[in-house]
Amino acid sequence: MLNIPEYKQYGGETKIALMDNSSLAFMHELSQRSYPSDGILSVYDLILIPKWVMEEIEDSTYRSAYVEQLQAQGYPIRWIDETKYGAFVNDEDVNLYYIVEAAVSRVSELMRFLRRKVKPEDMIDLPSTEEWMSRLYDEWPIHGRTLSTGRVLKKNAGEISLTILAEVFAWYHDEVDSLTIYTQDTDAHEFQTNAERILMGKSEFTPALDSPISVAFKSNDFILCQMYRDGALTLDAVRQLRRDDRKLTYTRQQADKSIICRKEVITKEQFIDLIQDATVQILF
């Protein structure tokens, strides 16, 4: 792991950010262009990077150096080991299994893996979390491309790890005031919202809280909008940084004060118009 501390037990933090590789890469690009986004992170008293995501970050020496730079500047960045998530759910291994199952529910290969190789007939016989979580990652059934370093990417591993971690905090730590996932990957958003829906309807799932705390998201477009509205970026800078057309989810207030929600592919110039409109809020 990089030269940052491991996070081993909940310390009462109330404002938590969960970081994906895609957002850290974008923030690094901003800093390289002399548009530091580091101030966005100053509101958090804990910034967590799951180990599976950390492996993706370490594929780039530039991103690795950027994370260590943030740590050296005093940002409370920690990495967390997925196999030790049990410590954050009062060692309730069965409930943690249900969280993981809900997180991977949209990926058939992972669901098959859990049901064939992890889930026992009687949940009282469930192996230790450390054992089966290690096995899940080591035998990850969906592979991406092979990097020049020889490491084979584990498709969706980072997004799923973030979803699991978000649900762990959401269902077990009501002291948390804000819980925000930083990612540009729409899969992460879909995994988390789907997992929460499944868990809310699962009678066998008996976590510490009756209902979860809310999980928020900040995409790269959200960051661009926030920095523009805070005066940290000009419109020309936004044009340089948002180079491609991509899907955007946003709300807009109508003339009668009602709110509509739109999800559509937005061009660079359309995005420029939206962020100048005070009735528009970027969701993802």
DSSP the chain: --SSPBP-S----SEEEEE-HHHHHHHHHHHHTT---GGGGGG-SEEEEEHHHHHHHTT-HHHHHHHHHHHHTT--EEEE-GGGGGGGTTT-HHHHHHHHHHHTTT-HHHHHHHHHHT--SSGGGPPPHHHHHHHHHHT-S-EEEEPTTSPEEETTHHHHHHHHHHHHHHHH-TT-SEEEEE-S-HHHHHHHHHHHHHHHT-TT---SSSSPPP-EEE-HHHHHHHHHHTTSS-HHHHHHH--S-EEEEEEEE-TTS-EEEEEEEE-HHHHHHHHT-TTEEE--
Residue 66: per-residue pLDDT: 87
Residue 145: per-residue pLDDT: 74
Q: What is the pLDDT averaged over residues 119-141?
A: 88
Q: What is the pLDDT averaged over residues 263-284?
A: 92
> What does pTM read for this prediction?
0.90
Q: What is the pLDDT averaged over residues 91-111?
A: 93
Is the pLDDT reported for residue 1 higher than 70?
no
Is the pLDDT reported for residue 223 higher than 70?
yes
Band of residue 186 on the pLDDT scale cut at 50, 70, 90:
confident
Highest mean pLDDT: which range of 58-62, 115-119, 155-159: 115-119
